[in-house]
Amino acid sequence: MTPIYLNHLLCFVNLDTYESIGASKFLNQQFACSEERTTFDQRTGMSWTGRYYYGHSTYFEFMTPTMTSWNPRDGLAFSIEKKGGAKNLACRLERDLNLQISLFKRTRRHLKKDIPWFWTVEVPRKNDAGFVSWVMEYEPDFLTQWRPDLSSKKFGVNTSNISRSAFLDRYRSAIDDDFSNQIFRDIISVNISLPSNEATLFENELKTFGYMVPSTNPSIDLETRTTNFEKTPAKGINSITYRGPDLDIVLDRILPPKDLSDKNNVNQPGGIYAFTMNTNPVTCTTTHQFGDNCYLVVNKKGKAVWYFNTKS
């Protein structure tokens, strides 16, 4: 089976948190290669603005509802690094899930030209779903057409493959950022909470990807996360971990309340509430707060956790 890797995470935050993230010198100058950019897709007429933080093979991005034409819901993007893999995967998903799967090519505008960027495979979800996922297969000709003005000495300029690292090399070179001096390396796990029906759909998708339940469920290191930011589960939450080739997904299934009059036992908005990263070691463990409910804990031993108390 062709491996399905993590490509990136999309997290929606409120405007105050988004502006706090953008104003952080630590985050934007020391933690990761970063940029704020607006992307326009000619096929759909949609545009979106976000802050992007690039690692070696994975990245994460933050958006706020007022700056995108998308529904404000968190997302998990996967990647397939085999040419033709997207079409084969779409067929497998239709067979396994018995659903009509979307398969389309997204473009990216450069100098008033819309360049084929990647194939997208997407499982249909309801409009009010709190979470979305999709799989990307990069176009091999994209790197020869997007930003051809870059110096040949920069990373990724002469690369014509469809690997995640090749594309992130190009993205980092386009913003003239030095990856070797940044703290962030790659995302290694993500924690997601979903209502039961959404969780079932996502689990079936992961099984088609070849993700397996490990014999022991990993947990976020409390020394990294610190007890001040420990998630307090709501009543009726079951947790299970799925393991892929480079990622652990900890999925909280929020069960419907048995007693609808119990105000402490209600469905919570679905989405990403934490993710863990490999990092370069630092001299001491530090905690950074963005807005009222968003925290980054950077551990000196080479791990970091981004944690969201709420998704307001």
Q: How far is CA 303 from CA 207, 220, 273, in A?
A: 28, 10, 17
| Tokens encoding 303 | 């791990």
Assigned CATH topology for domain 5-181: 2,3-Dihydroxybiphenyl 1,2-Dioxygenase; domain 1 (3.10.180)
- What is the pLDDT at residue 39? 82
Per mean pLDDT, which of 61-75, 82-96, 231-245 is the most reliable? 82-96
Is the pLDDT at 271 greater than 60? The verdict is yes
Mean pLDDT to the nearest integer, 94-102: 97
Computed over every residue of the chain, the mean pLDDT equals: 85
Where does CATH 3.10.180 sit in the chain?
A: 5-181
238, 255 Cβ separation under 8 angstroms: yes
Q: Which class for 260: exposed (0-12), middle (13-18), buried (19 or more C-beta within 10 A)?
A: exposed
Q: Report the percent of the chain where pLDDT is more than 90.
A: 60
238 beta partners = 253
Q: Which of 55, 90, 48, 53 is nearest to 73 (CA)?
A: 48
Report residue 35 CA to chain centroid gap.
16
Mind listing the pLDDT tens digit for each residue in 130-162?
Answer: 899 999 999 988 888 888 777 555 555 555 589
| 233 band by pLDDT with thresholds 50, 70 and 90 | very low
Mind listing the pLDDT tens digit for each residue in 159-181?
Answer: 558 999 989 988 998 888 888 89
Mean pLDDT to the nearest integer, 188-207: 95
Q: How far is CA 57 from CA 49, 176, 276, 290, in A?
A: 21, 17, 15, 25
- Give the C-alpha separation, 291 to 19, whole Å: 8
| Tokens encoding 205 | 């998708």
- Give the C-alpha separation, 108 to 75, whole Å: 19
- Give the C-alpha separation, 230 to 197, whole Å: 26
The pTM (predicted TM-score) of the whole model is 0.88
